[in-house]
Chains A and B, each alone.
Chain A
Amino acid sequence: MHLLVQEDRFDIGRETEAFIAGLRHAGAVVTFTGLVRDNGGQLAAMEIEHYPGMTERAIGAIMDEAKARWALEDALVIHRYGRLGPQEQIMMVATAAPHRADAFAAAEFLMDYLKSRAPFWKKEIGADGAEWVAAKASDENALTRW
């Protein structure tokens, strides 16, 4: 299990290769990458704030839960904070399992929980000012399927 909470950019290819290089039994790896949406060209930047300490604890607990529910060999979460430009990578998740069904399900589970249980807050900076992104009811509802 690997968790990185960082300001710097990351290289998806290199992170995925390093993740795979550490595996011994997996037959399936699923990766997901979240990007900063440009809102039809209106977004200048996104600022992501987080709660150092709680962030690591919360994501660690979500990863432990994923490992308890599915036959995961390993999992990786990278989540950035700070000021990000349009189309920059915000975060990535990778899961490795003997078969793809577990890898897909665990990746979706991790994403659903990261959205509303990891202490990050996004602020969109546009031409007309800045606004905190409101949490969506659909994100909270997504947790009920697990």
Chain B
Amino acid sequence: MQIDILYFAWVRERIGLPRERVETEAATVADLVAELASREERYALAFADLAALRVALDQELSDFAAPLAGVREIAFFPPMTGG
């Protein structure tokens, strides 16, 4: 399946792009993260500490165990600092 991946804040800076479209068969967010981390060092660095990251599936906060079936857009970012 094709999925759009978005990166924000220092995750975006570490990976070096704001978004990309990937072809993946990953079943869960964690599977996709493992797949990306094995691709290149910059991904491995960005995903080194999952406790420091948050994930949103189709613009709703989710978690790393969540399934990816039917998801079109996934975003990775650090904890939010609004207000």
A and B held together in a complex? yes
Interface residues of A in 90-146 (CB under 8 A from B): 90-91, 111, 114-123, 132-135, 140
Query: Are A51 and B83 within 8 A (Cβ)?
Result: no
For the complex, what is the distance from the CA of A119 to the CA of B83, rounded to whole Å? 10
For the complex, what is the distance from the CA of A50 to the CA of B59, rounded to whole Å? 12
Q: Is B56 an interface residue (CB 8 A)?
A: yes
Kindly supply a per-residue 1/0 record for chain B positions 14-37, scoring 1 wherever the CB is within 8 Å of any chain A CB and 0 otherwise: 000000000000000000000000
Q: Is B82 an interface residue (CB 8 A)?
A: yes
- Chain B: residues with Cβ within 8 Å of the partner, total of 17
For the complex, what is the distance from the CA of A91 to the CA of B83, rounded to whole Å? 7
Query: Are A121 and B8 within 8 A (Cβ)?
Result: yes
Among candidates B10, B59, B75, B83, residue contacting A132 with C-beta atoms closer than 8 Å = B10
A-side binding surface: helix, strand, loop or mixed?
A: mixed
Least CB separation from B10: chain A residue:
A132
Cβ–Cβ < 8 Å partners of B75 in chain A = 51, 54, 119
* Given A54-B56, A54-B75, A57-B59, A49 contacting B80 (CB threshold 8 A): no
For the complex, what is the distance from the CA of A36 to the CA of B6, rounded to whole Å? 27
For the complex, what is the distance from the CA of A122 to the CA of B83, rounded to whole Å? 10
Least CB separation from A119: chain B residue:
B80
* Given A51-B56, A53-B59, A54-B75, A118 contacting B9 (CB threshold 8 A): no
* Given A51-B8, A51-B75, A121 contacting B81 (CB threshold 8 A): yes
For the complex, what is the distance from the CA of A53 to the CA of B4, rounded to whole Å? 14
Query: Are B82 and A49 within 8 A (Cβ)?
Result: no
* Given A51-B6, A54-B59, A117 contacting B80 (CB threshold 8 A): yes
Cβ–Cβ < 8 Å partners of B12 in chain A = 49
A-B contact sample (17 more), CB < 8 A, given A53-B59, A119-B8, A119-B77: A49-B9, A49-B12, A50-B82, A54-B56, A54-B59, A57-B59, A91-B82, A115-B82, A115-B83, A116-B79, A116-B80, A116-B81, A119-B75, A119-B80, A120-B83, A135-B78, A135-B81
